[in-house]
Amino acid sequence: MKKFITLLCAALLFAGGSLRADEGMWIPSLIGTRIKDMKSKGFKLKAEDLYSINQASLKDAVVLFGGGCTGEVISDEGLMLTNYHCGYYFIGAHSTVEQDYLTNGFWAMNRSEELPNPGLNVKFLIRMDEVTDQVLEGVTDQMPQAERDSLIRLHSQQLTQQATAGTHYEASVEPFYYGNQYFLFLYEKFTDIRLVAAPPSSIGKFGGDTDNWIWPRHTGDFAVFRIYANAQNQPADYSPDNVPYRPRKSLAISTQGLKEGDFTLVYGNPGRTLQYVVSDAVDYTLNHGNPDKIRLRTKRLDIMNAEQAKSPAVRIAYAAKNARIANPWKKWQGESKGLARLGTLEKKKALEAEFTQWAADKPAYRDLLPELHKLYAELAPYAYARDYYQEVYEAIELTAFASGASKNVFKENAARAADGYFKNYSRTIDILTAKALLQEYEENVPQAWMPAYFREAVQKAGSVEAFVDTLFNQSYFSSPENYAKLMALDSADRAAALKTDPALQMAEAFTQYFKTRIDPRYRQLNAQINQLYRPYMRALMEMQPDKTFFPDANLTLRVSYGQIEGYKPVDAVSYEPFSTLEGIMEKDNPDIYDYDVPKTLRDLYASKEYGRWGVNGTVPVAFIATNHTTGGNSGSPVLNARGELIGINFDRTWESTMSDYEFDPVKCRNIIVDIRYVLFVIDRIGNAGYLLDEMNIID
């Protein structure tokens, strides 16, 4: 282990080598190893300004938002920004046909109007400590894996207990470099988070799925929340007595203007990257996983889009569901194109050929690749079956609802418990989806990999379509009317009805098959693969001593830096790095929901009364930069060289989505909503300029 740490330190300190410009997601507590390179690109601050446990630093203004996004604190009264799409579920949860905040936007005019969001939390990082020696004390490469894992869990539990003893903090120990290094993360979690402002979706999601992952972009992808605490400024469950949180640090906001070449820094929580996987993983993604998942989700989206277009109520009910399906669907398409364009699979195979030759006389490493190839070959059919389980069975809402609701049908409020579910449910969409996807399942999954119940039920019904009709006609969980009939039965009859309900039978068959036939072996094989990546990672560092290695993303706080820069997506096409209000008006189309610009914005454009937000006769909207980002970076603050907020990260370009596997400095760009557009919308569209009074805006 000491040998690995020596290799790691050398890799982090090496500023040149084969690491390409702006690639990397760096650990904040070790950012001092990158400061020299950052300063050479224009950064003006010290490492302690980014991360410190002895004084307030920029890390204290950044939060993990809702367990999958990032947010930033922008006032000393707990005001917080994140992406509109990160808060989309909660905005939708407050919306009805009569009070449609998705379409019309939401603007609290005072704090009494701010809306609580049950289930939403944010977490501040208090500190992170390298604990590799403590976690791996007594661990050897020779001990059985189960014993190794048990000892690591024990040490991790002891460390988190010690770190949180006598405090209200939470802690976790996370592996880096496939378990060659470990860090302890200490967090403070707040659960009283209130919605303050959200633009109409025609701003917050402008362009919808058509523009998703695309540049040029004109989306005002932001929402405003506020963190509340108790009188002692500590986390507390929602209470009207809670007060705005007083943060250790809030971000200053710069409206001083941007130009191509300006330094940019993204401070956020990237979710997952796979920079060091072998060719087998890339091959499955490129040639099997992505094509199948794209095809299946295309069918779902075609059905959903058609039904949403027919009804405002269905559009609202399925808005967040549609977004959750469409976002990865489009990302996978760009990812596959990028991997093919870069020849990532061929590059991996070339590296492995070099590795094989290098490791031939090294007993500790020479069998790693053959064993990895063998395990991936065994994993492939399980991965295939798992993909179809998730993309087909889990796409059917009826069976998921039946499975959950059946556990509560004897409780006192069971009759009302389903109201929220049916409010956001379309039986038509679910039936059409079930028919389309189960037909794909029946045609493409080998019979040996599907539940016997499904094979026999389809055979008995005569077709997938007939089976689905029977399923929805006979299940008590398929409509409010059928559910009411179930609730009207006495306890004995209700219990008997549950035993024969076809949706429950299907849920039980698929779930049990997945839990017993697919998932255990899938997890076991992945665990064995990850065990081999640990020595493979060490070996790569030994083989490439001049290469700079950064750890894969794992939803912990990271720094990435780069600059504002345009790019050429294809031959003879060049993209400038900035978009403006002019582009919004060029796309304006009242007949298309995603491009129907609000009248207030049309009027402002006509009058050109932009006030302090006008720049050269227009309003800046978005820009792109070369920062290395991924999922989880949504909502991350984008800072200038002085650490001031200049935008909110919300996407990557379509040509960048393969960067989870391979970063291409020529084409990889992250997309950022310009903070000036955010402030313009708050001020001139929402008429909530009072919020600006509590911000530190540097003009």
Residue type for position 246: R
**Confidence at residue 594, expressed as pLDDT on a 0 to 100 scale:** 82
pLDDT digits (tens, 9 = 90+) for 110-152: 999 999 999 999 999 999 999 999 999 999 988 998 999 999 9
Q: CA 201 from chain center: how many Å?
A: 20
Residue type for position 14: F
Q: Output the CA–CA distances (angstroms, integers) from residue 647 to 108, 628, 677, in the order listed.
A: 22, 15, 9
Q: CA 412 from chain center: how many Å?
A: 37
pLDDT digits (tens, 9 = 90+) for 256-274: 999 999 999 999 999 999 9
Angle (nearest 5°) at CA 36 between 32 and 38: 90
Do the Cβ atoms of 611 and 46 come closer than 8 Å? no
Residue 427 has pLDDT above 80, yes or no: yes
Phi, psi of 652 (to 5 degrees): -120, 160
**Confidence at residue 3, expressed as pLDDT on a 0 to 100 scale:** 58
Intervals of CATH 2.40.10 along the chain: 561-698
**Confidence at residue 18, expressed as pLDDT on a 0 to 100 scale:** 46
Q: CA 303 from chain center: how many Å?
A: 25
Sign of the alpha-carbon torsion through 191, 195, 201, 207: negative
**Confidence at residue 9, expressed as pLDDT on a 0 to 100 scale:** 55
Residue 17 has pLDDT above 90, yes or no: no
94 has catalytic annotation: no
**How does strand 122-130 pair with strand 223-229?**
unpaired
410 vs 613, residue with greater confidence: 613
Residue 87 has pLDDT above 70, yes or no: yes
Do the Cβ atoms of 647 and 633 come closer than 8 Å? no
pLDDT digits (tens, 9 = 90+) for 639-692: 999 999 999 999 999 999 999 999 999 999 999 999 999 999 999 999 999 999
85 has catalytic annotation: yes
User: Is CATH 2.60.98 the right assignment for the domain spanning 561-698?
Assistant: no
Q: Is 34 exposed, middle or buried (0-12, 13-18, 19+ CB in 10 A)?
A: buried
- Indicate the angle between helix axes 344-359 and 519-543, nearest 10 degrees: 70
Using omega within 30 degrees of 0 as the cis cutoff, is the peptide bond preceding 291 cis? no
| Mean predicted confidence (pLDDT) in 354-373 | 98
Average pLDDT, the chain: 94
Do the Cβ atoms of 698 and 253 come closer than 8 Å? yes
Residue 11 has pLDDT above 60, yes or no: no
| Mean predicted confidence (pLDDT) in 359-365 | 97
N residues, the chain: 699
Of 29, 52, 279, 634, which one is the catalytic site residue? Answer: 634
| Mean predicted confidence (pLDDT) in 295-301 | 97
Of 49, 209, 221, 280, which one is the catalytic site residue? Answer: 221
Query: What 3-state DSSP class applies to 617?
Result: coil
Query: What 3-state DSSP class applies to 274?
Result: coil
| Mean predicted confidence (pLDDT) in 306-329 | 91
Phi, psi of 228 (to 5 degrees): -115, 150
| Mean predicted confidence (pLDDT) in 488-510 | 94
| Mean predicted confidence (pLDDT) in 522-535 | 96
Tell me the C-alpha distance between 407 and 414, whole Å: 10
**Confidence at residue 153, expressed as pLDDT on a 0 to 100 scale:** 97
pLDDT digits (tens, 9 = 90+) for 205-223: 999 888 999 999 999 999 9
pLDDT digits (tens, 9 = 90+) for 235-249: 999 999 999 999 999
Tell me the C-alpha distance between 63 and 194, whole Å: 15
Tell me the C-alpha distance between 376 and 398, whole Å: 34
Tell me the C-alpha distance between 266 and 395, whole Å: 34
**Confidence at residue 654, expressed as pLDDT on a 0 to 100 scale:** 93
| Mean predicted confidence (pLDDT) in 344-367 | 98
Any residues with CB less than 8 A from the CB of 454 and at least 6 apart, and which? 438, 441, 442, 506, 509, 510
Tell me the C-alpha distance between 154 and 160, whole Å: 10
**Confidence at residue 14, expressed as pLDDT on a 0 to 100 scale:** 47
pLDDT digits (tens, 9 = 90+) for 74-84: 999 999 999 99
Q: What percent of the chain has pLDDT over 90?
A: 89
Of 22, 49, 85, 254, which one is the catalytic site residue? Answer: 85
Q: How confident is the model at residue 15 (pLDDT cuts 50, 70, 90)?
A: very low
Q: Output the CA–CA distances (angstroms, integers) from residue 286 to 109, 186, 290, 326, in the order listed.
A: 49, 37, 6, 19
Q: Output the CA–CA distances (angstroms, integers) from residue 439 to 141, 402, 447, in the order listed.
A: 48, 21, 13
The least confident of 184-193, 390-399, 404-413, 419-428 is: 404-413
Q: Output the CA–CA distances (angstroms, integers) from residue 667 to 19, 23, 60, 467, 619, in the order listed.
A: 16, 12, 32, 48, 26
Sign of the alpha-carbon torsion through 207, 212, 215, 221: positive
Q: Output the CA–CA distances (angstroms, integers) from residue 58 to 69, 148, 151, 233, in the order listed.
A: 17, 37, 35, 19
